[in-house]
Amino acid sequence: MKAMQAMRRWGVLGLVLASCVDDGARSIGADAGCRSAAQCDDGVACTRDVCTVEGVCEHVGDNTMCGQGMTCTAGRGCTSGGATSCTTAAQCDDRVDCTRDSCLVEGSCRSVAQDDRCPVGQRCDASQGCITGAVMPTVCRVPADCDDREACTDDLCGVDGRCAHVPQNARCGAGRRCIAGMGCIAEVACASDADCDDHMRCNGSERCSELACIAGATVMCDDGQACTLDRCVEGAGEMCSHAMDPSCAGVTVRSGFYDLDVAVSYGCTAFGTPVVMFSFRALQFVVTGATMTVNGGPVSMLGNAPDATGRFRVSGTMAGDCNETYTLEGTFTTSSRFMGNFSTSFVGASCALTDCAARAWAVVGTAR
């Protein structure tokens, strides 16, 4: 019954939209009324012609049979724009209290009769609202009398002579579902953004718009470097990964000055007297064989030259009662650019007499 009411509701909406342009959008058969959809052909290619349980012909517009940006109107065919186009549910209000009005992601309206919005003993009629009585006249003898021209539904004639249209979602493409009276549409019912969340962050944040889920924008991790493999990582601390491309192994790191994208500055005191104070925005890299020295910070830092994947780590310590250790580690993505972290730590008995604390800065260095 719900499926049949949904089909009838759409037929009536199409009739209201077309009433001012063509009285032929709704036709009633001979005194006995129609008995099959074949008797209701209106000659409009984009409409689906059905025979209702009352024996009345109705013509449901199918926008998918029109070109992009066009809508199907009963009695007129495919037209640009038109009253059936929508962007919000408010534009689909049919002024019938017991129908649920929504705007689909294709930009077309859907109004579905909801019997539970009516008092006990009444049902929702798509055009009249809540009415008394739910028994419909006999209209079918064989399944052929119930053909709704929707490939995704099974059309059945019940023993009581009433048609039933059973949706088969498997006949629709991925991400689409079958709605009796409408065919395959891209719709996922939702009430809030949380209903649409697939708990995957790399494909963006899904949102609910007019009862339909809208896909999010895919996260782009391209860092613009030819020698990195950029990808979005689900569940990791950092969303984007920029691993060194093995095909770029053996990149020769350039010695020289590298400008940093941020200024690295820090200071701490003991009893109000400064004991550590530094600020720099450039470092000098000196690569000699298998070793690499980095100057320009609080101390000179020494370590191995970058390995085949471009990774490196250098460090230096200023010894004392409170040892200051400075470390720079990261990855060269090209022979003249690296991405890494500069950090400082303080270890020793007298460190407790100061307000010095470990710090870290994310830095990107580019050769001059």
Residue type, 233: V
Q: Do residues 27 and 165 share a domain?
A: yes
Residue 133 sits in the same domain as residue 16: yes
Q: Are 11 and 159 within one domain?
A: yes
Could you give the percent of the chain with pLDDT greater than 90? 24
Do 276 and 134 lie in a common domain? Answer: no
Is the domain of 14 the same as that of 129? yes
What's the confidence (pLDDT) of residue 189? Answer: 62
Residue 221 lies in a domain: no
Check pLDDT > 70 for residue 137: no
Q: Which residue range forms the structural domain that includes residue 348?
A: 246-367
In a domain, 29, yes or no: yes
Q: Say what the pLDDT of residue 41 is.
A: 82
Q: Is residue 272 part of a domain?
A: yes
Please tell me the least confidently modeled range out of 5-19, 216-230, 289-303, 317-331: 5-19
Please indicate, yes or no, whether residues 129 and 275 belong to a single structural domain of this protein.
Answer: no
> Could you give the number of structural domains in the chain?
2
31 vs 8: CA distance, rounded Å? 21
Give the rounded percent of residues in the chain with a pLDDT score beyond 70. 75
Residue 200 identity: M
**What pLDDT is recorded for position 29?**
38
Give the DSSP per-residue string, 100-145. Answer: EEEE-TTSBEEEEE-GGGS-TTEEEETTTEEEE--------SSGGG
Q: Which of 120, 147, 171 marks a domain boundary?
A: 171
Decide which of 171, 199, 230 is a domain's last residue.
171
Residue type, 141: R
pLDDT at site 341:
96
Sign of CA dihedral 33, 37, 41, 45: positive
Q: Give the separation between CA 294 and CA 153, rounded to whole angstroms.
A: 71
200 in a structural domain: no
In a domain, 226, yes or no: no
| Residue 322, domain CATH | 2.40.128
What was the pLDDT predicted at 300? 95
Between 36 and 340, the higher pLDDT residue = 340
| Domain end marker among 171, 195, 210 | 171
Render pLDDT for 246-299 as a digit per residue (tens, 0 to 9): 666 556 788 999 999 999 999 999 998 999 999 999 999 999 888 999 999 999
Do 274 and 357 reside in the same domain of the chain?
yes
Judged against a pLDDT cut of 50, whether residue 185 lies above it is answered with yes
> DSSP of 203-241, one letter per residue?
T---EEETTEEE--PPPP---S-TTEEEEE-TTSSSSEE
Give the model confidence (pLDDT) of 54-96 as tens digits: 777 777 777 767 765 566 766 666 765 444 567 777 777 778 8
- Residues 31 and 162 reside in one and the same domain: yes
Residue spans of alpha helices (H) in the chain: 2-18, 193-196
Do 164 and 264 share a domain, yes or no?
no
Please give the single-letter amino acid code of residue 121. G
166 and 279 assigned to the same domain = no
- Does 343 have pLDDT greater than 50? yes
Q: What is the pLDDT of residue 82?
A: 42
